Structure 1
Amino acid sequence: MNVMAKAEKKISSAFIYFFGSFGGILFGYDIGVMTGALPFLQADWHLENAASLVGWITSAVMFGAIFGGALAGQLSDKFGRRKMILMSAIVFMVFSVLSGVSPDMGEASAYYLIIVRMLLGLAVGAASALVPAYMSEMAPAKARGRLSGLNQTMIVSGMLLSYVVDFLLKDLPGEWAWRLMLGLAAVPALILFLGVLRLPESPRFLLRKGDEAQARKVLSYIRKNPAEIDQELASIKETAKEERQANQKTSWSTLFSGKYRYLVIAGVGVAAFQQFQGANAIFYYIPLIVQKATGQAASSNLMWPIVQGVILVVGSLVYMWIADKFNRRTLLMVGGAVMGLSFILPAVINWMMPNMNPMTIVVFLCIYVAFYSFTWAPLTWVLVGEIFPLAIRGRASGLASSFNWIGSWLVGLIFPIMTASMPQEAVFAIFGIICILGVLFVKTCVPETRGHTLEEIEEQGTNHGRVKDSNPEN
């Protein structure tokens, strides 16, 4: 036991935070990898005119994630965050390999891959739920904002990694290209598994299971001051007691009672708008978008996903720099307005000038991604984490996550169907209108949370008021 304790003592906080957030790499890799694999898969399986199947293959991961996040949240309360992250990594490895070795059986192959990717989605959804929970329970309060930014950076870095892998494999024979692109997702999953084997369990979970001695030991790895450890242990105990009492008094119907309705609608609405604004249409289908705009083969346009990935990573770093300098509502409204115009203007320009350069739409999509990357992408989850009162936080956060995944799934499913039946500019104009509606929603239905205590936010919800969009002191 003493040998084990000494081994655990060697774990640095940097190692814990790095591998604690590494699940975001898996999440991001699988969001991005189909972008490059899809053109080769379409050609290999002759799916160029099968918009519905293409939509289902692409969106199947998000469909599985709807259930994976909810399931992982419940199981992690029973078995622990660490064990469930390990399980997610195993599931991710297995079904990534099974995706890469999909049998070639005609149309039946597409249904096989859809089912496998749905099961893979269970792991993606679990990672999206477990990583932020683990990180928030391990990080000191003063670092939670920056570490939330680290999780977002890991996600977009995973997307960029998948785009680079797709680009490097694009000159292989078509069948080998898409199979390796999908199968190599097992590599970051293996790295995550090996890294998490050395991670300690969350002190919050250990205390809930009555193991205060081990919880204290874990906190000693990541907190330097013994007094700080004692204070945090006491705080965790008090919070756990309040949560138990809250869960005994609340039900799903409580979310939409007069007292909480305003805040629940605000948080769930922002989470839903983030996806229905169409960002994932770009991330999943950018080579096909460029192909439709220029006539060039999608498989020769795999540099564009890398451009999008670089913009996302830079944007996540910009967010970490500006996160505490501007109000949440201000960033969401400015970002949403520019995103909406980036979608609508190409349709207007094309209507006024039918001979518009076809690459104009791609330039505007880059502007969209840039503003999305440091506004709606990270701020949605910052706001969801702040806006729900303790009594309903668990259920309301789960509901917000479910609506977010439902939006992600629907956008991935219907985008190829929409572009097969109407001009591409018109499809993006529809998403642009949704972006503008999102701005109006934030302006009228979402309170400002930066600089306000949770009690102040809850009071605003109780009174159906709205926190003034002032610049509160930090």
Structure 2
Amino acid sequence: MGGIATTFAMLITGRLLLGVGVGLCIHASPLYLSEMAPAQQRGMLNILFQLMITIGILSASLTNYWTSRFLGGWGWRVGLGMGAVPGSVIALGSLAIPDTPISLLSRGETELARATLSQIRGIGPDDVRQEFDDLAAACEESKAVANPWWELLFTGKYKPQLTFALGVPFFQQLTGINVIMFYAPVLFKTVGFRNDASLMSSVITGLVNVFSTFVAVVTADKVGRRALFLQGGTQMIISQILVGTFIGLQFGLSGTGAISEQYAMCIVLFVCVYVAGFAWSWGPMGWLIPSEVYPLAVRSQAQSITVAVNMCFTAFIGQVFLTLLCHLRFGLFYFFGAWLLLMTIFIAVLLPETKCVPLEEVSHVFRKHWFWRKYVVDTSAEARGAEMRKRIALEMS
């Protein structure tokens, strides 16, 4: 609809429909991947979701660069219309993928859930018995929660999960990454690049984004989530300070002046360093961590909150960026650097390591954390859960 729009109303309607579709996909994809993946490979497989996002961003940048050069005033139609291609792939592909075992169990399809788990693990039904029993026990425990929204938001029982459902997507957008990705052509044109050169610079940042995400794919299940968060956060802080300093030295408080080619290339270099830091930390981890810390009882509801917060702050930061740039000038990069410092401390203090921990056992990690242990379910509830697992295992055997 956006590509063939003849009125402003058609264009906005197309964008709204696109937004709804993207929101649904972003809600479902991380949860689906987390529930399907074995614990030892959950990080790698879930980060492939972020990798596909980065490839999509790069493809959009290449499309915009190409259409701006050869298609004149019709380029924007091609760019919007090509969004139908991945949308069609997703729609058709969703018809071929199976439901997750935990989803089947929650609907009472026990044997199909067992067969699906055996199929996706590539081993016999007897070999997945322990994992299946854990899933069945988690499903039974979740049925005891009559009102998941109330339990999540108002009882305090899931305070750690709610903190990360709100905090991670909020902080992810305050890294400033979408400012760089949305406005890279404007930013690079401001510091001295020509029209087509600024578009090419956004292509370069897109390439850095893609290849750096591979680092997270390879290392997330080896070095852990916390290490990537802390290293990437530190790298982004330094990059933001350096970019702000370079721009400040050249343009000053007035925001006017010229910039040399050497300074412009330094700015592009440190922007790429910043993008690389994001691509192996807050980019993939911003989706992975929320999807793996939620217990089954409130998993869908908490993921809805995560997506809503992410999308709202994406829109908000995108709308206010140019205004902030006009008022803060080079100080805008210090602004995002300060937020990066705050969120790095947030991760260092509050996030436990969830590397290779089965989804059904993540709550145990919070019970051992120095801060969260006073907010999670008490040991008596844990004992009841263990007893329930034993009972279900006996019934299934």
Q: Please tell me the TM-score bracket, short chain as reference.
A: 0.7 to 0.9
Q: Which residue of 1 aligns with 2:218?
A: 321
Match of 2:374 among 453, 457, 463: 463
Is 2:346 the partner of 1:441? yes
Is 2:274 the partner of 1:368? yes
Q: Which residue of 2 aligns with 1:382?
A: 288
Is 2:188 the partner of 1:290? yes
Q: 1:169 to 1:384 in 2, by over 3 A?
A: same
Amino acid at match of 2:342: L
Match of 1:278 among 176, 183, 186: 176
Is 2:10 the partner of 1:116? no
Deviation at 1:161, TM superposition (A): 2.1
User: Is the Cα–Cα contact under 8 Å of residues 252 and 395 in structure 1 kept in the other structure?
Assistant: no
Amino acid at match of 1:331: L
Match of 2:320 among 414, 428, 440: 414
Amino acid at match of 2:207: V
Deviation at 1:394, TM superposition (A): 3.9
Q: 1:251 to 1:204 in 2, by over 3 A?
A: closer
Distance in 1 (alpha carbons) for counterparts of 2:320 and 2:79: 23
Amino acid at match of 2:98: P
Q: 1:113 to 1:414 in 2, by over 3 A?
A: farther
User: Is the Cα–Cα contact under 8 Å of residues 332 and 442 in structure 1 kept in the other structure?
Assistant: yes
Is 2:254 the partner of 1:345? no
Match of 1:183 among 81, 88, 96: 81
Deviation at 1:190, TM superposition (A): 2.0
Amino acid at match of 2:243: P
Is 2:3 the partner of 1:100? yes
Q: Secondary structure at the match of 1:358?
A: helix
Q: Which residue of 2 aligns with 1:432?
A: 337
Match of 2:264 among 345, 354, 358: 358
Q: 1:310 to 1:349 in 2, by over 3 A?
A: closer
Q: Which residue of 2 aligns with 1:236?
A: 135
Distance in 1 (alpha carbons) for counterparts of 2:105 and 2:174: 39
Deviation at 1:239, TM superposition (A): 2.0
Amino acid at match of 2:229: L
Is 2:321 the partner of 1:402? no
Q: Which runs of 5+ in 1 are unaligned?
A: 1-97, 466-474
Task: Output one character per residue of 1:167-210: Cα deviation in whole Å (capped at 9) or x when no partner.
Answer: 33332232211110110111122233333333333343333333
Deviation at 1:329, TM superposition (A): 2.9
Deviation at 1:389, TM superposition (A): 4.7
User: Is the Cα–Cα contact under 8 Å of residues 275 and 404 in structure 1 kept in the other structure?
Assistant: yes
Task: Output one character per residue of 1:375-425: Cα deviation in whole Å (capped at 9) or x when no partner.
Answer: 111122232234345554443333233222222111122223333x33642
Distance in 1 (alpha carbons) for counterparts of 2:225 and 2:25: 25
Q: State the aligned residue count.
A: 360
Task: Output one character per residue of 1:204-239: Cα deviation in whole Å (capped at 9) or x when no partner.
Answer: 333333334544554454333231355554443322
Q: Secondary structure at the match of 2:69?
A: coil
Is 2:206 the partner of 1:309? yes
Amino acid at match of 2:69: D
User: Is the Cα–Cα contact under 8 Å of residues 255 and 392 in structure 1 kept in the other structure?
Assistant: no
Deviation at 1:459, TM superposition (A): 4.5
Deviation at 1:352, TM superposition (A): 4.0
Deviation at 1:275, TM superposition (A): 0.8
Distance in 2 (alpha carbons) for counterparts of 1:150 and 1:215: 24
User: Is the Cα–Cα contact under 8 Å of residues 228 and 281 in structure 2 kept in the other structure?
Assistant: yes
Distance in 2 (alpha carbons) for counterparts of 1:192 and 1:319: 24
- After superposition, residues 184-263 of structure 1 pair within 5 angstroms as 184-219=82-117, 221-222=119-120, 223-245=122-144, 247-248=145-146, 251-252=149-150, 254-255=152-153, 257=155, 259-263=157-161
User: Is the Cα–Cα contact under 8 Å of residues 216 and 233 in structure 1 kept in the other structure?
Assistant: yes
Distance in 1 (alpha carbons) for counterparts of 2:185 and 2:179: 11
Task: Output one character per residue of 1:296-346: Cα deviation in whole Å (capped at 9) or x when no partner.
Answer: 22x553222221222122112111222133343333223222212212223
Q: 1:218 to 1:439 in 2, by over 3 A?
A: closer
Q: 1:129 to 1:425 in 2, by over 3 A?
A: same
Deviation at 1:144, TM superposition (A): 2.2
User: Is the Cα–Cα contact under 8 Å of residues 41 and 221 in structure 2 kept in the other structure?
Assistant: no
Q: 1:394 to 1:202 in 2, by over 3 A?
A: closer
Q: Which residue of 1 aligns with 2:51?
A: 153
Distance in 1 (alpha carbons) for counterparts of 2:284 and 2:168: 12
Q: Secondary structure at the match of 1:99?
A: coil
Q: 1:182 to 1:349 in 2, by over 3 A?
A: same
Q: Which residue of 2 aligns with 1:78?
A: none
Distance in 2 (alpha carbons) for counterparts of 1:128 and 1:225: 32
Distance in 1 (alpha carbons) for counterparts of 2:365 and 2:93: 40
Q: 1:270 to 1:364 in 2, by over 3 A?
A: same
Q: Secondary structure at the match of 1:422?
A: helix
Distance in 2 (alpha carbons) for counterparts of 1:189 and 1:251: 30
Q: 1:212 to 1:450 in 2, by over 3 A?
A: closer
Amino acid at match of 1:197: L
User: Is the Cα–Cα contact under 8 Å of residues 205 and 275 in structure 2 kept in the other structure?
Assistant: yes
Bigger Cα displacement from structure 2, 217-226 vs 331-340: 217-226
User: Is the Cα–Cα contact under 8 Å of residues 344 and 432 in structure 1 kept in the other structure?
Assistant: yes
Q: 1:188 to 1:427 in 2, by over 3 A?
A: same
Is 2:230 the partner of 1:333? yes
